[in-house]
Amino acid sequence: MVLPEVYSEKRFGINKENISPNALSIINKLKNNGFSAYLVGGCIRDLIRGLLPKDFDIVTNCQPEQIRKIFKNSRIIGRRFKLVHITFPDEVIETTTFRSGSDSSDDALKIDDDGRILRDNNWGTQEEDAFRRDFTVNAVYYDPFNKEVIDYTSGIKDLKNKSIKFIGVPETRVQEDPVRILRAIRFAAKLNFSIEEGALRAIEKHKTKLSEMPPARIYEEIIKLFLSGHAEKSYELLSKHQIFNILFPHSRNDPRVFGNFFRKTFSNTDSRYRNNKKLNPGFLFATLLWPRIFEESAIDTKLNFRKYYQSVSSVIRKQQTISAIPRRFISFIKDVWMYQIRFNKIGKKSINFSKNIRYRASFDFLEVRESIEPKLKERIKWWKEFYESNYDKKIKMLNIYRKRREPR
């Protein structure tokens, strides 16, 4: 038995006004029904660091079926890792049951021959739950009613030292679930922490196993890496540890050629996130996969249309074996790529094109392309002015363009 470090909330200056009232009500109701319940994970990291959490996760000794009976506004999700979503008009609170991580006779915990966890619904104690979590900074618990912060794994110390450290033997934890490699990168990027040496060695040894993971899980992690406000830092770390090319083996990550292209995109993405602007996964993947399209269809930095058409479907089809891009975003990606050709064809159809629902995204993509295709500068300038002009000005611009193109 391991005794945890228990701290008063006053030590960290936790402000309860930064905690979701819905989360507090869930904890209170679980306690009133005879169960223990805590806030855990990222929300506690943020509260301790004086930040406003975006999400609140709760952990309890109440089992999913019992939670479902207590909260009529809830539903059980997941088979591999069963948990409960408690739904409110303005948010969804994820509520999980303490897991033990030890073997059981009823097949609640299933591990394959390579040590990967296939299923983990084996309930346990708070102590057992703490030691089955992935990183020390994610294993800190907070009881807002007893006003206590509970730490079994020196997570508070690692938060102070800004260190991402696996709980237990790093190699074992990565073998259990190689996707933890991407989670380590994500937390290091998000928190601006360093990854502990033992964790780095395990990541280096097992990173190629990411290609064996279910494509749907890889897609989810890519979205979290690049659409959560730290895309630029995520790209830097993925490139540094040579993981980017594992996630996108059919793209091309040559910093000398495409570094500025990616950095410009990710800088814009992070800026949009900070300003609460909509982020489209389709635009993200259009950018991430563009280098291969460009290389396969370029002749002297100009698009070869025949090769271009052939490359578009091929690149997406190959990427799908790594990350399962939803169909609605595949349609978006293809449109944005195909409409790049339309920017080369200025004529009577240009007015209708500028009204197309995909025009704005396609033009934004054209602007990003300029970092590797400087010759696009004048074309971008023309289309920007054209888009912002009224109908009469558009006609005038088309006539001027046509006269310049006519042979003398």
Domains of the chain: 1-161 (3.30.460.10), 241-407 (1.10.3090.10)
Q: Is the separation of the CB atoms in 199 and 184 below 8 Å?
A: yes
Nearest CA-CA partner of 38 in 141, 118, 188, 157: 141
Cα separation, 371 vs 408, whole angstroms: 34
Q: Is the separation of the CB atoms in 166 and 135 below 8 Å?
A: yes
Q: Which residues of the chain have pLDDT under 50?
A: 104-105, 109-113, 115-119, 299-300
Query: Is residue 183 exposed (0-12), middle (13-18) or buried (19+ Cβ within 10 Å)?
Result: middle
Q: What residues are labeled active site?
A: 55, 57, 134
Q: Would you state the pLDDT for residue 43?
A: 95
| Residues contacting residue 405 through CB under 8 Å, at least 6 positions apart | none
Cα separation, 5 vs 75, whole angstroms: 34
Amino acid at position 180, single letter: R
Q: Would you state the pLDDT for residue 307?
A: 73
Cα separation, 348 vs 402, whole angstroms: 10
Q: Is the separation of the CB atoms in 188 and 195 below 8 Å?
A: yes
Cα separation, 218 vs 210, whole angstroms: 8
Q: pTM for this one?
A: 0.86
Paired strand residues for 306: none
Q: Would you state the pLDDT for residue 219?
A: 97
Amino acid at position 12, single letter: F
Q: Would you state the pLDDT for residue 119?
A: 47
- Two structure tokens written together for 248: 């996108």
Q: Would you state the pLDDT for residue 408?
A: 52
Amino acid at position 103, single letter: D
| Residues contacting residue 229 through CB under 8 Å, at least 6 positions apart | 190, 270, 273, 274
Q: Would you state the pLDDT for residue 182?
A: 98
Query: What pLDDT, in 10s, does the model give residues 257-295?
Result: 788 889 999 999 999 999 999 999 999 999 999 988 887
Q: Would you state the pLDDT for residue 310?
A: 77
Q: Would you state the pLDDT for residue 294?
A: 81
Nearest CA-CA partner of 215 in 115, 319, 140: 319
* CA count, 13 A, side-chain hemisphere, 212: 10
Query: What pLDDT, in 10s, does the model give residues 357-388?
Result: 999 999 999 999 998 889 999 999 999 999 99
Q: Is the separation of the CB atoms in 32 and 66 below 8 Å?
A: no
